């Protein structure tokens, strides 16, 4: 039988499946409106035998969902018995959005619902007639399952996390260990995790975007930016609406694919103001011209867990002059560093403060310095009362009897946000690009949070920040504690021994 006869006996689905397997994607990327070259590049990465983790996106309208559905559908068609997943924060978002796109993709390429595959709405999976299957996973963080043990025994060939900005680091970290386990050797398929997204400063930013920007992304990982302008099929009106939006952060993220902007209305600091902390040299010039120079201080954020870092900073007023970081350190090492900095810069004990939670209490006791208790009551001070222009604080003219903050940490965070917006901070000693990027990321996650029953002002809890960025916001806490000294009136004549306030 010649080739023509063989081909004549194949239906269009088989022909498309063969083309897909051979890396010929014209039937997907080529349309009367033009060729979607970025989508073609994405499909090549999805079907290579090198890439294990692939982040695709960076802006709106890049045909990300269509690409993901095509990949999973044809992989299921070509490789019988394989098992895949689609994961989003909520199952409802899959069934109301992603699944609708999947049905459209199936129709476009002749795959028949009920014949070639069936959707099981009760158990949430798509079963192909050849035994392949796509599970629909809800990836929401559950306090009853903080380490995602519900996925711990499931074996997948590969999978797709859609809208990675919704997903915390723990889900990503677990799911990448569950792929490459179902018929991968049989079909010589590499276990592959596909992630689609719009820009967001969570684990995708530090794990994919920044290393790619530096040319340091491992060969097994890929990041491909897809912009709305890359998609020849997009409605021109959609692009124009993005251009006309008055929201600068939204325009930067969704139109230009700028990862540095956050359009979350709960964000307390703007990107431009955060960046300015590294270049607010007018503060240095101001201090040089002052007759009465600012005081010197030390703040220390002590690591409580193995992945956290201990950081010690020396401040001249609101200029960070010197900083030391410890990956792993004993309390004696931290004590020695604090004492050395005190001696070097002639800083009294009552101008030094360390996070007293956890092991920090030992450092406070050994060094004889102040202890910062995050959950302590907010301070009512003359300075706080006089500061009527605070943007986030209580601006009543009558003297408040209670500060409207959940605790001391929250009070310092809200007032610090005002100082960042007012360009009153210079992080002079932070010259490393990687450290600057860490600080940018941590302050982009300084956000307001839902009010409690007493309607107190709150910030996004640290445990939530850690879930998003995969580490503790150590820099943020180091800088935040400096605000404590603005809330109290400290004189050099006061005996150091009375300053164990908490």
CA distances from 42 to 23, 62, 63 (A): 11, 11, 10
Residue 479 pLDDT grade (very low, low, confident, very high; cuts 50, 70, 90): very high
pLDDT in tens, 338-375: 999 999 999 999 999 999 877 778 899 999 999 999 99
How high is the pLDDT of residue 230? Answer: 75
- Residue 297 pairs with which residues in a beta bridge? 315
CA distances from 168 to 101, 146, 461 (A): 24, 11, 14
State the CB neighbour count (10 A cutoff) for residue 292: 5
- The answer, as to whether pTM is greater than 0.75, is no
The domain made up of 271-498 has a fold known as: Nucleotidyltransferase; domain 5 (3.30.420)
E-assigned strand segments in 109-245: 117-120, 125-128, 133-138, 158-161, 192-197, 221-225
The average pLDDT across 161-172 equals 94
Q: Which residues lie closer than 8 Å to 445 by C-beta, 6 or more apart?
A: 201, 460, 465, 468, 469, 473, 476
DSSP state of 500: -
Q: Are strands 125-128 and 117-120 parallel, antiparallel or unpaired?
A: antiparallel
How high is the pLDDT of residue 151? Answer: 93
How high is the pLDDT of residue 452? Answer: 60
3 state DSSP class of 78:
helix
The domain made up of 39-254 has a fold known as: Rossmann fold (3.40.50)
pLDDT in tens, 109-145: 999 999 999 999 999 999 999 999 999 999 999 989 9
Q: Are strands 221-225 and 192-197 parallel, antiparallel or unpaired?
A: unpaired
The runs of H, that is alpha helices, within 218-309 are: 236-244, 248-254, 271-276, 282-288
CA angle, residues 125, 129, 133, in degrees to nearest 5? 30
Tokens of residue 296, six digits: 């010197």
CA distances from 143 to 146, 149, 169, 180, 464 (A): 5, 12, 15, 28, 11
Report whether 395 contacts 415 (CB < 8 A).
no
Burial class (CB in 10 A: 0-12, 13-18, 19+), 173: middle
pLDDT in tens, 7-44: 555 688 999 999 999 999 999 999 888 899 999 999 99
Report whether 183 contacts 242 (CB < 8 A).
no
Q: Which residues lie closer than 8 Å to 305 by C-beta, 6 or more apart?
A: 472
Domain boundaries, the chain: 39-254, 271-498
pLDDT in tens, 233-258: 777 676 777 777 766 667 777 777 77
Q: Are 39-254 and 271-498 the same fold in CATH?
A: no
DSSP state of 305: S
Tokens of residue 104, six digits: 């459209």
Alpha-carbon gap, residue 188 to 318, rounded angstroms? 58
Decide if pLDDT at 308 tops 80. no
């Amino acid at each position: 039988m010649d080739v023509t006869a063989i081909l004549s006996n194949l239906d269009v689905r088989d022909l498309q499946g063969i083309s897909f397997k051979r890396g010929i994607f014209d039937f997907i990327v080529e349309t009367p409106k033009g060729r979607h070259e970025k989508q073609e590049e994405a499909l090549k990465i999805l079907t290579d035998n090198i890439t294990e983790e692939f982040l695709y996106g960076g802006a709106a309208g890049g045909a990300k969902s269509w690409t993901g559905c095509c990949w999973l559908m044809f992989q299921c068609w070509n490789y019988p018995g394989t098992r895949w997943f689609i994961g989003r924060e909520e199952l409802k978002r899959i069934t109301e959005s992603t699944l609708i796109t999947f049905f459209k993709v199936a129709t476009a390429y002749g795959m028949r619902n009920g014949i070639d595959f069936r959707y099981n709405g009760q158990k949430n999976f798509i079963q192909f007639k050849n035994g392949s299957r796509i599970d629909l996973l809800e990836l929401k963080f559950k306090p009853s399952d903080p380490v995602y043990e519900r996925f711990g025994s499931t074996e997948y060939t590969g999978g797709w996390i859609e809208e990675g900005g919704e997903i915390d680091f723990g889900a990503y970290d677990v799911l990448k260990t569950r792929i490459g386990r179902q018929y991968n050797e049989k079909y010589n398929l590499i276990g592959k995790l596909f992630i689609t997204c719009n820009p967001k400063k969570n684990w995708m930013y530090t794990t994919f975007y920044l290393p790619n920007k530096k040319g340091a992304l491992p060969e097994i990982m890929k990041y491909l930016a897809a912009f709305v302008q890359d998609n020849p099929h997009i409605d021109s009106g959609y692009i124009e609406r993005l251009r006309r939006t008055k929201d600068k952060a939204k325009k930067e993220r969704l139109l230009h694919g700028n990862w540095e902007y956050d359009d979350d209305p709960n964000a307390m600091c703007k990107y431009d103001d955060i960046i300015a902390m590294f270049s607010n040299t007018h503060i240095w010039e101001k201090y040089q011209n002052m007759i009465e120079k600012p005081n010197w201080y030390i703040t220390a954020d002590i690591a409580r867990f193995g992945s956290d870092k201990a950081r010690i900073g020396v401040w001249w007023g609101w200029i960070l002059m010197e900083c030391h970081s410890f990956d792993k350190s004993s309390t004696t090492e931290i004590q020695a560093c604090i004492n050395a900095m005190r001696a070097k810069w002639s800083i009294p004990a009552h101008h030094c403060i360390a996070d007293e939670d956890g092991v920090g209490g030992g450092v406070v006791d050994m060094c004889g310095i102040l202890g910062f208790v995050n959950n302590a009551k907010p301070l009512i001070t003359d300075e706080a009362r006089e500061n009527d222009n605070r943007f986030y604080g209580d601006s009543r003219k009558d003297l408040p009897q209670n500060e409207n903050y959940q605790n001391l940490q929250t009070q310092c965070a809200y007032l610090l946000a005002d100082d960042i917006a007012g360009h009153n901070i210079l992080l002079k000693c932070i010259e490393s690009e990687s450290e600057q990027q860490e600080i940018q990321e941590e302050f982009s996650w300084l956000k307001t949070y839902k009010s409690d029953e007493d309607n107190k002002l709150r910030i996004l809890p640290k445990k939530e920040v850690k879930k998003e960025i995969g580490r503790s916001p150590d820099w943020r806490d180091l800088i935040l504690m400096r605000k404590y000294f603005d809330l109290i009136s400290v004189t050099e004549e006061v005996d150091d021994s009375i300053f164990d306030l908490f």
